[in-house]
Structures are given as C-alpha cells and as structure tokens.
A and B are shown apart, each in its own frame.
Chain A
Amino acid sequence: MSQARVEQQRPASGAALLVLVGLGIAFALLVALLAAAKAHTGPIYGEANMLYAALVFYTGAAALYMGYGVTGIERYVSTATLLTALGFAANTAAVAHRWSIAGRPPFSNMYEMLLSFVWTLALLTLIAERAYKVKIIGSITMPITVVSVILMQLLPSDVRPLVPALQSTWLQVHVTLAMLSYAACAVSFALAMMFLIQDDMKTEGFQAITATGMIAVYAGMLITRFRSGNLAVTAYDLDAKQEVMISRGHPLFIQIPDLGWLYLLILLSAVVPLALYVVAQVKKDRSFFDIASKGMFITILLQVVGLAIFVARVKNGRYGAPEAEGLYATAMPANPFLLAGIVGGIVAGLLYLLLLWRREGLQKMMPSADVLDTVTYKIICIAFPLLTLMIAAGAYWANQAWGSYWSWDPKETWAAITWLVYAGYLHMRITRGWKGRRAAWFAILGFAVVIFTFFGVTYLLPGLHAYAAG
C-alpha cells in the first residue's frame, strides 16, 4: 500500500517544490512590502511586519521539511534550514521590537506567550538539527510554528500595560521556564510521533479506533444537541460573563440554524471508513483499507470545516430558542464539551494523518527507532526538571503576589497534572522498563495535557490566571 503511494507522488526532481516555495515566498513578501509602503503604518522593521515575514519563512520551511519527509530529497533540508533561520531572525526582530515598545519581555498574555513559544521552538529545531542531526524534526515542529503564528493573528495583540500582580521579576522566570519546558515537551512529542512512524505501527487499527472515537463524539453531540437540523448551544451573557439560565441548573439552549445537518453529515462521513474497515476485515481484502483512508481524509476535512463554521457562528451572531423570547449570544467558554469534542476529533484525525505519512523512504531518513526512543526519553529528562522549576517558581511568585503558594487554581492544578503524567512516564520507563510504543504513547499523552494546560485551561477554565486570555 505504502509502496504504491510513493510511486504515485514522487516528483521527477526536487526542483519543482523548491521553485514553488521560492516563488511563493517572493510573492508573499512583495505583496506585503507594497502593502506596507502604501499604508505607512509604523517602521518596516516593526513587529507586525517582522511577524508576517517570520510566518512566510516558516511556512516555506514547513513546506520544504514536509516535502523532504515525503520525497526524501536531501537538498530541501538545507534550504528549509536557511528559511527557518531567516524566520527565526524575523521572529527575533518581532520579539525585540515588542520588548522595546512595552519596556518588558513579551510574556504577559496568550499572544505574547505564543510569540515567545514560536521563537523557542524554532531555536530548538535549529539546535536539534545541528547538534543531533535529526533533520526530519522540522517537518513536525515547523507546521506547529505556522499554526501558532496564524493563531496569533486571531488574538488581541495590542501592547497592554502590566497589571500590578504581573509586575515581578518572577514573571520572567516563571514564563521562561514554562516556554522552555513546553517547547521541550513539543520536541519530545515530535520524536515520539516519529518513533511511531518508524516503528511500523499498523495504521489500520489506529484508523478504526480514530473513526470509532469520532463517531462516538459526534453521535453524543447529536443525541444531546440536535434540534430538527439545528445545533443547540448554551446561551451566554457576554456582559455579565455567565451562562443564561432558565432555572437553577438549567441553562438556556439556543439553536444555531442548520449546523445540526452539517454535523450529521460529519457523523456519516466518519461511519464510512469504519464500515469499510469492517468490510476489509471480513472479506480480507486490503483494497478496502485504501478507500477507507481516503474516507478518513474526507471526514477530517469536513470536521475542520465544521469547526471553522462553529467558531464563526458562535463568535458572530445571536440566535433564538423556542423556550425564550428574543435572540441571545453565545461564546466558546459556554460550550466546553462541544468544543473539546470537535477539537479532540480533529487532533486524533491529524495524528492519524501523521502516521499515514509513513513510507519506506521516510523511514530510511529518520534515525532508527531505538535512537528516537532514547532521544525522546532524554528530551523528557530535560523537560521534567524545567517543568518542576516552572511550577516551583510559579508557587514562589504566587506566595509573593497572592499570599498563597498553592490555590488549586485550574492552571496550577493542570500544571500539576502535567507534572504527574511525566513523572508517571519516567517511573514506568526507569523502573518498569517501558520502552518503545507504550512510552511513545505516554509522551504523546503528556504533550496533549501540556496543550490543554496552555490553551484549554486559559479559554475553558478561567481562574486566577485569567489575565492570560486578554
């Protein structure tokens, strides 16, 4: 199966992609330059322009790294490295510019933390490539930086003064440690994924599990929220920042028109690959797997569309409900389970796509499974002490600012859960000899918890750390 795919997609030479990426970058930069010259907003080296340049370079680097992953053409890597370095330079300029305007390091809200995170991740990628000769790592980390920079465009980026609680040197210590440890966790995740690709994991089984999970998520959503073609979401009072209630414990559900049909369609699209998998198993005909994997691709695409429409309609628009007069707004934090379900489905789908990416050429380029396994462990050995120090610095700072070193605030609690997951990984590995696939899954779970602590807690479970969302 994988053989066939390689032959289909292998381009005649590597020049096509290089030229394409080069032209793309030149075009994007030219357009931006013209726009900047016309708009006269701020200096050309300003943060927004530099960030845009970083995005362009990172995107080019991501495309080339992934091209290298697919085709194995070596010369992509040197260009990709150059682009990463250029993007890193632009990123550094953006950080420096913001730093000089704000008069403090950019650590105080989600936008600034992502700015620093992307910077750290690009740096670690360059280091991993130079020092450990893991060329392929960029094909996982660079797409993460691209997604992060795009995400940053959706966040408020104005330089805000620091509220009194954040005016402390411990802010820098705490957030620097957090960025370093989270970036190290991201690298360990990338390595663990590479291990799974290298380790000849059977994608069919994973496909069936993913599809089943998606079906469960969407069936659950539709059973509870499907209202004759509409999707019911919790009404949210944007001014009072709380849910609208009909009576005690009964929130008001408003209906987003026609979204229910789309989600029904997604459910059906997830049933198809599972059915094909079953057919393939029963008939012992592997050709059904190939159709099933195409089906998976379609359902993942539909889910991304579903998420985009969900976000767009939740953010803009007011909707009615049969139980109440008038139109009501809604918000993301009011619908944590829906959002978690949709995002979870997409993440599982993307993991599957990553695994599907395996092919012999790629396996030859990557370090051996043993090396990947060991390096994952070593990176976690770096991440774990950093994580510990990050929590400790946070506790010390909280003791200075809030009068208590531990308040069981959601962010704190989830940081502790992250710590526990990695502590579990280390114990299983050191004392029980967990290696290979089980350890890799553990490392992936750890990074999933990190992501939830970073984004999920900020947007779904606001607490004392709530200023991060601003």
Chain B
Amino acid sequence: MGLKSLWTKIYQTLASVRTGIFLIIVVGVFSAIGTVILQRPTSEPSELQRAYSPETLMWLDRLGLTDIFHVWWFLVLLCMFCTCLIFVSVDRWPNAWKVYANPVRFATAPFRASLPQSVKIPVKDGPAALSVAERIMGRFGFKAETVTENGATGVFAERQKFAVFAVYFVHFSLLCIFAGYIVDGTVGYRGNIMVPEGQALGQITLRDNRGGESKKALPFLIRCDAAGEDTYADGSPKKWWSKLALIENGKEVASKMIIVNDPFVYKGIRIYQSSMGQSSTPKTLVFQATPARAGAPEQVEVPLNGKTTLSDGESLSILRWVPDYYIQDNEVYKKSDEPENPAVQLGLTNAKGETKKLWILYAQANTTQGQDSPYDFSLKGATWAKFTGLEVSHQPGQFGIWIGVVLMAFGLVIAFYTQHTRVWATVIDDGKGGQLLWMGGTTNKNRDRFQAKFEQIKAALQEELGGTTPVKNSENTLTKA
C-alpha cells in the first residue's frame, strides 16, 4: 500500500461518523471505569493501598488506570476524537458550502422529481402566474428572486440558510474546549498555600498525580491581613473570608476580601478561599501571675512578640516558645510543631532593667516556683493565629472553554430550532400545449411542520390562480397531493 492510499484510508476512517460514535463509546467506557477505580491524586496513596492488593495496584498503576484522565493513552483517545471531529467537518464542508453559497436556484426536471413537496396548477399566462407565485412566497416569509436558466424562468427563495453551519459551530466549539483543556494541562498549574494572619507568602505547593509535591514561586507575595469564619447557630460553617493583599516588587498592588465563590483574580492568576484553620503558633499566651509574698493572683495576656506590664510595673515578655519540647543535656529542644507539650521561657524585667529568665515546662510542672521569682507564673491558655487556606490556579486555557461553551449553545440553538427551507417555482408545459405553474419545496428538518406550511402556500396559490384543481401527477412519482 502506498503512502497516499494509506493516508486516504486513515482519512476515510477518521472522517466517518461511525468512527466518531465508536470513539464516543470508548471514551465513555473508560470515563466510567475512571469513576469506579480509585484515582490519584484525589485518593490518598494509603486509600489505594488499602483497597487493592500490591499486585493489583502495580498493574493498575502500570496501565494508567489509577489516573485515567491524565494518562497518555486517554489523551491520545481525546486527540483522536478531535481529529475525527476535524476530518468529519472538512469532509462535509464542500457540500455544506455549496448549499449555502451556490444553491440550486432553478428547478430542472430531474430536480423537480426529487422534491418531496410540490404542486402543479394549470395557468394561462405563465409570467403572470410566476409573479403571483413570487408574491405568495413573500407573504409566507420567503423573499424570492427571479432566476433564468437555458432560457427558462423561475423563482427561488430560501430561509435560514445559515442552519447548514450549525453542526460546524458545535464541532468547532468542542475543539475550542479541548484546546483550552490542553493549554491548561500543559502550561496551567494549580496549587495551594496556607497563609497565617499577618504574614506574606509567595510559594505554592503543587501536587502531581503520583502524590508527590513540588513548590512553585508566584510572581507576587500574598499577605493575609485578616481571616475569619462565621458559623451558623448549629456550628456548621457559614462563611469563610480572608482579607488579602498582593505584594509585587515590595509594593502592594492589589487587595480584596475574598470569600468562597468569589475569588481574587490578578494577572490571570486566580486565588480562591478553600479552607480555614488555626495555626499552631499562638498569637498570645495567657498566664496567671500569683505574687510570691501576698496579694491576689492576676491574669495577664502576653503577645508572642510583645510584652505586657504587670500591676507592679514589671514587664513580662516571652523569650522562647517551644510547642512540643524535650530536654537533653539540660537544654530545651523542639520535638514537633504540635502545641501539645509546650515549654515557655518568660522574661520578667524590673524597673532597673534587670531581666529574669523563667521556664514553664507545661507537662512537668505548670509553675515557675523554685526559680527565685517574685511571681509564680502558670500557663492558663492561648489565642491562636488563624491561617487561611488558599487555592491558587493559573488556567490561561479557560477562555477557550467559555468561548466554546457560548459557541456550542449558539450552535445547538441553530441546529435544533432553525431549519433551512427552500422553495422553487417555474412554468412548465403540460404536454398538451397548455402551461402549468409548478412549485416545490424542501426542508432539512421538521418535515411535518413544513408540509403543513406548504399546504397553506398551495391553497393560497390555488385561490389566486383561479381555483382549478391541481393537475394529477404524471411527472413526479414522489409528489404527495
């Protein structure tokens, strides 16, 4: 087989509706499979390991069945589907264009015989009858033009001829959507970032389909000025909000309060509110200070990076905060970030400027007794900084999607709710020396409705042309009386 015939073969295969339907079925079946088998990265690796035996999981991974919607062969299927759409459209384009730009304007005898709707009425004056036909066509919304071919004269009119392009709109819109999807899949990205109140961060975490993580720097920093959660009476979340500011080259360039469903868009990058939480870093710590000699205990709240003055004028600050500590060689170390076993080093500064360092080792003894302090401090509580969980995405292809959606809506409306109708009229011999006015029409859909309309046109013609009964059909076997 030569290269050319191979190409012809491929072209013919892909340009057939049958291939298209076959691809639709295959894509549909694999999509369905993808909803039954657990997919990465939506499902955690541990879930997959629970659900499938190691052997099964290995094969599922190898065949790409645990990530069907991103595996190469699924993308190949989608691309074949696109190619099919293109070839089908190209293959049928010349015909559609001919119908649109260069329609059959004059109804010749063989063409007349092929029309499903037609009528013949005996007339005396041919040209006058033709002008009557033209006027009646106009009355029914057909703007007729007079055409001559080989010396014979006729009239032709058509309505909504753009309907032939409906299918191209729909197919092209699908291509737009796929193109947008592919652009987003290759140059787009999506990640998340946790920004504690008062901080500015600019690095998002991307998750790949294997469950791995990587970092990506944004072209700006996101500063969270405030964040909060409103709840309903029953405690379920009602509203999450964050006041964000974007800092580019050290300058604040934009700011907005975002909520769920109302993202922040800046230079094609969209920032979404996705979750809300408490950071494990306290905003303030609350202590009870009991004077060592005599007096009532007092509650003091100390900011993590500030100080508070006690009632006798001494000031209290936090020197070190260790959320989860352990002691080695008489030194306090951090074990984890979970604030479950905290240690706090306090600084108590008197009027002379002398600072006394005091440790509270919460789990051992929540007290500073025995550290030679004028107060006995104990940790009573803390307020925690909020952090806002943001989703950051850059999807430049989404405009293709929305253009595609609009085009498709447009195309479907044309495809289903408009119809291309054409009518012709001409004067022919009846074979006995007399003349007949012939009129016929066709439509590309809604045959029954057009039939009813044609009957009305027919009735109007007969009324104007003298009420003679239409001639019995001899020329055209397809005609219905």
Contacts and interface: CB of A to CB of B under 8 A. Distances in A.
Contacts of B102: none
A334 to B, nearest CB: 11
A399 B238 CA distance: 20
A248 B35 contact: no
B35 A388 contact: no
B412 interface: yes
A388 B24 contact: no
B53 A249 contact: yes
Contacts of A405: 395, 398, 401
Contacts of B448: 374
Given A163-B237, A243-B50, A431-B17, A408 B69 contact: yes
Contacts, number: 125
A407 B41 CA distance: 11
Interface stretch (A15-23, A71-79, A412-420): A412-420
Contacts of A404: 190, 393, 395
Interface in A401-428: 401-410, 413-414, 416-417, 420-421, 423-424, 427-428
Nearest to A423: B24
B82 to A, nearest CB: 14
B467 interface: no
B262 A403 contact: no
Interface stretch (B26-34, B157-165, B281-289, B300-308): B26-34
Contact of A249 (B52, B272, B395): B52
- Among B18, B42, B259, B261, which residue has the most Cβ atoms of chain A within 10 A? B261
A417 B24 CA distance: 9
A422 to B, nearest CB: 11
A345 to B, nearest CB: 20
B261 A417 contact: no
A250 to B, nearest CB: 7
Contacts of A243: 50-51
Contact of A461 (B25, B36, B393): B36
B54 A249 contact: yes
Interface string B172-215: 00000000010000000010000000000000000000000000
Nearest to A165: B260
B470 interface: no
Contact of B42 (A165, A384, A406, A463): A463
A400 to B, nearest CB: 5
Contact of B56 (A168, A249, A401, A403): A249
Interface stretch (B248-256, B323-331, B362-370, B402-410): B402-410
B57 A249 contact: yes
Given A163-B236, A402-B272, A427-B20, A420 B28 contact: yes
A419 B135 CA distance: 45
Contacts of B261: 164-165, 167-168, 170, 397, 400-401
Interface string A241-258: 011010011100000000
A167 B69 CA distance: 29
A245 B413 CA distance: 52
Contacts of B392: 403
B456 to A, nearest CB: 20
Interface residues of A, number: 53
A139 B240 CA distance: 48
B320 interface: no
Interface in B229-243: 232, 234, 236-240
B260 A248 contact: no
A278 to B, nearest CB: 32
Give the bracket for the number of chain B residues in contact with chain A: 35 or more
A413 B34 contact: yes
Contacts of B51: 243, 249
B357 interface: no
A288 B272 CA distance: 67
A384 B413 CA distance: 10
A336 B21 CA distance: 29
Contacts of A388: 408-409, 412
- Secondary structure at the A interface, as helix, strand, loop or mixed, is helix
B262 A400 contact: yes
A432 interface: yes
A164 B270 contact: no
A468 interface: no
Nearest to A414: B35
A398 to B, nearest CB: 10
B118 interface: no
A392 interface: yes
B208 to A, nearest CB: 15
Contacts of A400: 261-263
Contacts of B315: none
B270 A403 contact: yes
Contacts of A420: 24, 27-28
Contact of A381 (B36, B50, B181, B416): B416
Contacts of B31: 413, 416-417
Nearest to B55: A249
B260 A417 contact: no
B28 A417 contact: yes
A161 interface: yes
Nearest to A384: B412
B393 A403 contact: yes
B408 A164 contact: no
B380 to A, nearest CB: 33
A124 interface: no
Contact of B49 (A248, A389, A399, A423): A248
Contacts of B25: 424
B39 interface: yes
B21 A428 contact: yes
B274 interface: yes
A335 to B, nearest CB: 14
Contact of B238 (A161, A170, A424): A161
B391 interface: yes
A381 B270 CA distance: 36
A164 B409 contact: no
A392 B50 contact: no
A399 B394 CA distance: 11
A369 to B, nearest CB: 15
A416 B402 CA distance: 16
B184 to A, nearest CB: 9
A401 B52 contact: no
Nearest to B236: A161
A274 interface: no
Interface string B122-161: 0000000000000000000000000000000000000000
Interface string A5-41: 0000000000000000000000000000000000000
A396 interface: yes
B398 A399 contact: yes
B56 A164 contact: no
Contact of B260 (A249, A401, A407, A461): A401
A410 B401 contact: no
A457 interface: yes
Interface string A439-470: 00000000000000000010001010000000
Given A402-B391, A404-B395, A432 B53 contact: no
B232 A161 contact: yes
Given A242-B47, A463-B42, 5 more contacts: A248-B49, A248-B53, A249-B54, A385-B412, A409-B42
Interface of A: 160-161, 163-165, 167-168, 170, 242-243, 245, 248-250, 336, 374, 381-382, 384-385, 388-389, 392, 395-397, 399-410, 413-414, 416-417, 420-421, 423-424, 427-428, 431-432, 457, 461, 463
8 contacts: A167-B260, A381-B416, A401-B261, A403-B391, A413-B32, A413-B35, A421-B28, A432-B18
Closest 7 pairs (CB-CB, A-B): A249-B53, A164-B260, A410-B35, A403-B391, A408-B69, A392-B405, A168-B261
